[in-house]
Amino acid sequence: MRTYHEDKLPGTTREKVSVIGLGAMGSVLAHLLVKEKQEVTVWNRTAAKAEQLVKEGAKYTGDIHAAVSASSLVIICVLDYAVTNEIFGEVDVQGKTIIQLSTGTPQDAREMAAMMKSRGALYLDGAILATPSQMGQPSTPIFFSGSQTAFERSEAVLKILAGMLLYVGEAPGAAAAWDLAALSSMFGMMFGFFHGVRIIESEGLDVAALGNMIADISPVLGQMVKSTADDIQQAHYTSPQSSLEICALSFELMMRQAAEGNIKAPFPVFALGLFNKARAAGYGDERLAAMMKVLR
């Protein structure tokens, strides 16, 4: 993975950029580009969504062929890849650099890359790991994969949208895979946090204080994830500091507390079910990373 940070790149030059799709995210992307004096053409099925951008300096066309023709760099941000296929149809993309920022799977990205390549375009697949309000910041991350030439050609423009560009290789599906893996990690943490909130509430404690505490210890949590990832990569499951069995006991305590506190416990029930499978397979005295042997 190559990471490109804002302070390591030269200033941007004025580029012609077409933004296809003006939903919540697409509108923000176009706004950021206009704000930085790029020559922006926008397209959307509903013309009303372009009105503010036109006031700011963008050009609007309701003709998708004209929108793509207007720029050498085309950024797509619509609902998904199926919508992209519907919109682009027989649009001429020969010689264009196409950047896909819609939501999809690695297979979606592979199919889109093959289609765009067959029609003469350079293709870069992207996955934004941020909300619209977080765009344009130095720490905003976007994963990219696909044509390295496309990435290098569009790099200066992309830096306007996000300060942390994570190029993860030429395999078109890599960016979507990294995105989904990161989302799984994030939402897995959030569901654990939600159960933690119920524990705090059942004891009449302060929920905001729990959030503050998790933020304070986040470097320690991050190190635990990194260490476990290293164990998995190296197939290192023996000599644990805290065995899988000890970790399982924590969830048994959560189950007891849920009964005592009269709260529902879908998250501990789910996790303990996996721990019990690992126990039954004889992994109790191994590292937590041994859970991967159950999941595989």
Last residue of a domain, one of 105, 135, 170: 170
Residues 129-154: pLDDT tens digits? 999 999 999 999 999 999 999 999 99
Digit-coded pLDDT (tens) for 218-274: 999 999 999 999 999 999 999 999 999 999 999 999 999 999 999 999 999 999 999
Let me know whether 9 and 148 are in one domain: yes
Enumerate residues 6+ apart whose C-beta is below 8 A from 121.
Answer: 93, 94, 95, 96, 97, 98
As a whole number, mean pLDDT of residues 88-106 equals 97
> CATH number of the domain that 73 lies in?
3.40.50.720
What pLDDT does residue 8 have? Answer: 40
- In whole numbers, what is the pLDDT of the chain averaged over residues? 96
Q: Is the Cα dihedral 259, 260, 264, 266 positive or negative?
A: negative
Rounded percentage of the chain residues whose pLDDT exceeds 70: 96
CA distance 59 to 73: 15
- List b or e across 45-73, with b for residues whose CB sees 16 or more CB atoms inside 10 angstroms: eeeebbeebeeeebbbbeebeebbbbbbb
Task: Give the pTM.
Answer: 0.89
Categorize the per-residue pLDDT at 172 as very low, low, confident or very high, splitting at 50, 70 and 90.
very high
pLDDT at residue 164 in the model: 98
One domain for residues 85 and 217: no
Q: Are residues 238 and 116 in the same domain?
A: no
| Residue found by looking up tokens 């893996």 in the block | 181
Instruction: Give 141's strand partners.
Output: 164
28/72 Cα distance (integer angstroms)? 20
The identity of residue 285, as a single letter, is D
Look at residue 101 and tell me whether its pLDDT is greater than 70: yes
Question: What total number of domains does the chain contain?
Answer: 2
d(CA 58, CA 50): 8
H or E segment and range at residue 175: helix 174-202
Q: What pLDDT does residue 67 have?
A: 98
Residues 126 and 28 in one domain: yes
- Say whether both 264 and 120 belong to one domain: no
Residue that finishes a domain, picked among 125, 144, 170: 170
Tell me what the mean pLDDT of segment 81-99 comes to: 97
For position 13, what pLDDT does the model report?
75
Binning pLDDT at 50, 70 and 90, where does residue 5 land?
A: low
- Provide the 8-state DSSP code for 11: P
Ranges assigned E (strand) in the chain: 2-5, 16-20, 39-43, 59-60, 73-76, 97-100, 122-128, 141-146, 164-167
Interval 21-61: pLDDT, tens: 999 999 999 999 999 999 999 999 999 999 999 999 999 99
The whole domain housing 209 covers 178-295
Tens-digit pLDDT profile for residues 177-201: 999 999 999 999 999 999 999 999 9
Domain end call among 170, 205, 224: 170
- CATH number at 193 reads 1.10.1040.10
